Amino acid sequence: MAALKKRYYQKIDEEVYSAILDNGMSLSIIKKKGFLEKAAFLSTNFGALDNHFYIDGELQSYPAGIAHFLEHKLFEDEQGRDVTLDFVKLGADVNAFTTLDKTTYYFSTLDHFEESLELLLKFTSKFTSSEDAVNHEKRIIEQEINMYQDDPDYRVYLGCLQSLYPNTILGQDIAGSVDSIEKITVKDLKDNFDCFYKPANCHLVLVGDFDVEDIYTFVNEKQSKFTLPERIVEKEKNPIESDIQKLDSLQMEIFISKLAIGFKSVPFTDNRMRENILVQLLFNLLFGWTSPYYQNWYAEGKIDESVSIEYEVSNRYSFVIMTMDTAEPIRMSSLIRQVMTSADKKRLLTDEALDLQKKALYGEFLRSLDNIQNLGSQYLAYFENEKTYFDFGQELMSITSKDLKDFLNHYLSNIEITDFVVFPK
């Protein structure tokens, strides 16, 4: 059993222990002294974008939504029972989510942590199902997909994403479509499970006040039972590229129009954490609630508190989607474009304004460290090479106004913009 490696972050008084288990799984233990709640997150490097990949150099293609479908099916045991019931008996809350690049299963509890952890490791270690069970699940996921079709906030966001990346997997719902999930078979699910749920492709994160050595020994002993045959699997690495659609819209039974404006660019740096922070700082300075533009538009009644800015940055894509309720969607789109391309950046991107934004983001970062479930999710999201979420604050405070202006110049040189509007009928 390999020795645990400890990292202590003195400025924020956080410590994390890490190791590679005997079966190849990555383990991180975040010790939170004095906390009663404990949580575990098991994440596999397999998400919605991974329906095309290579096995021993040969391309494999599967229907969109297969990662999300597999997430659903793993909650069923050999008898078709929902394993959630076993967690409930132990007093634990369990759930899962699929993102563009990961599938994560997690639970939190005040008691019976080791029993709950053993359950988590067990039900994510094997896949058993039948065609009847898979067909039944298709009907459930179809209902989920159809339900979202009646949600205008969902429709405006996905519509904008589809305009940014038309005819690509990135432009599709994480759950896939009714047509795509209908094509998924038991064999498809088993093949993807065998490829991506092997321990070496998984990361287990434990958060709480543990006896670190004891919990490490427990995990290593339990997890050593679960191994899968190794296959050389390579995920797609090329950037996702597609010519954007300039403008699209639909009508729904709503009272006020919903606007989504999407910005697509190309990565600025290999440091994903730094680029994510730069994107947040730039858009907060230009369009956040403290910006003069936001304040003026709000005072004039053009926007309200519904304004939201979502960021996604990776080595394969980089996009931002702003959404809002507005009675003037065409006018607001024009104003936002004007700010992005011709605003007085010297007035907006001052040292003083940047310092205020950095302090605000740093405060959010510190608050997140006391929320166990949020901390586990963020730790997984930012885990890359030797960096962890605990490096976020230091990375943030190292950014200068010159760094931000250099990033802005890159962004404006590569940016593509599109709109999607949901109008009232």
CA dist., res. 21 & res. 42, Å (int): 14
Q: Are residues 325 and 302 in the same domain?
A: yes
Question: What is the average pLDDT value for the chain, to the nearest integer?
Answer: 93
Q: Are residues 199 and 259 in the same domain?
A: no
Question: What tens digit of pLDDT does each residue of 242-251 get?
Answer: 899 988 999 9
335 in any annotated domain: yes
Going by pLDDT thresholds of 50, 70 and 90, the confidence category of residue 224 is low
Going by pLDDT thresholds of 50, 70 and 90, the confidence category of residue 79 is confident
Question: What tens digit of pLDDT does each residue of 269-318 get?
Answer: 889 999 999 999 999 999 999 888 999 999 999 999 999 999 999 888 99
35 in any annotated domain: yes
CA dist., res. 303 & res. 172, Å (int): 28
Are the CB atoms for 416 and 385 separated by under 8 Å? no
222 in any annotated domain: yes
Question: In this structure, how many other beta carbons lie within 10 angstroms of the beta carbon of residue 405?
Answer: 15
Q: Are residues 171 and 261 in the same domain?
A: no
Question: What tens digit of pLDDT does each residue of 167-207 get?
Answer: 999 999 999 999 999 999 999 999 999 999 999 999 999 99
Residue ending a domain, choose from 200, 235, 270? 235
CA dist., res. 272 & res. 105, Å (int): 23
At residue 156, the 3 state secondary structure works out as helix
CA dist., res. 170 & res. 167, Å (int): 8
Q: Identify the helix (H) or strand (E) that includes residue 262.
A: strand 258-264
384 in any annotated domain: yes
Q: Are residues 227 and 277 in the same domain?
A: no
pLDDT of residue 204: 97
Question: What tens digit of pLDDT does each residue of 275-289 get?
Answer: 999 999 999 999 999
- Closest residue by Cα to residue 162 from 250, 237, 59, 288: 250
Q: Are residues 259 and 288 in the same domain?
A: yes
Q: Identify the helix (H) or strand (E) that includes residue 6.
A: strand 5-9
Distances (CA, A) of 86 to 137, 291, 341, 384, 416: 20, 49, 55, 33, 49
Going by pLDDT thresholds of 50, 70 and 90, the confidence category of residue 228 is low
Q: Are residues 385 and 352 in the same domain?
A: yes
Residue 360 has pLDDT above 80, yes or no: yes
Phi, psi (deg, nearest 5) at residue 75 = -75, 0
Q: State how many domains the chain has.
A: 2
CA dist., res. 170 & res. 162, Å (int): 8
Q: Are residues 264 and 343 in the same domain?
A: yes
pLDDT of residue 347: 72
Strands laid side by side in the 52-55 sheet: 58-61, 52-55, 233-235
pLDDT of residue 226: 63
Q: What percent of the chain has pLDDT over 70?
A: 97
Q: Are residues 188 and 274 in the same domain?
A: no
241 in any annotated domain: no
pLDDT of residue 222: 85
CA dist., res. 197 & res. 289, Å (int): 42
């994440």: which residue's tokens? 43
Q: Are residues 101 and 66 in the same domain?
A: yes
Domain range holding 136?
Answer: 5-235
Q: Name the more confident of 231 and 338.
A: 338
242 in any annotated domain: no
Are the CB atoms for 418 and 362 separated by under 8 Å? no
Q: Are residues 307 and 266 in the same domain?
A: yes
Residue ending a domain, choose from 184, 202, 235? 235
144 in any annotated domain: yes
Question: What tens digit of pLDDT does each residue of 48-57 get?
Answer: 999 999 998 8
Question: What tens digit of pLDDT does each residue of 110-142 get?
Answer: 999 999 999 999 999 999 888 999 999 999 999
pLDDT of residue 349: 79
Are the CB atoms for 236 and 50 separated by under 8 Å? yes
Bridge partners (DSSP) listed for residue 103: 44, 98
Q: Are residues 203 and 310 in the same domain?
A: no
User: Residue 292 corresponds to which amino acid?
Assistant: P
pLDDT of residue 263: 96
Tokens standing for 318?
Answer: 């980089």
Residue 348 has pLDDT above 70, yes or no: yes
Residue 14 has pLDDT above 90, yes or no: yes
CA dist., res. 52 & res. 231, Å (int): 16
Residue 396 has pLDDT above 80, yes or no: yes
240 in any annotated domain: no
pLDDT of residue 225: 65
Q: What CATH number is attached to the domain comprising 44? A: 3.30.830.10
Strands laid side by side in the 26-31 sheet: 5-9, 14-20, 26-31, 202-208, 38-44, 103-109, 93-98
Are the CB atoms for 324 and 332 separated by under 8 Å? yes
E strands along 247-350, which residues? 247-252, 258-264, 308-313, 318-325
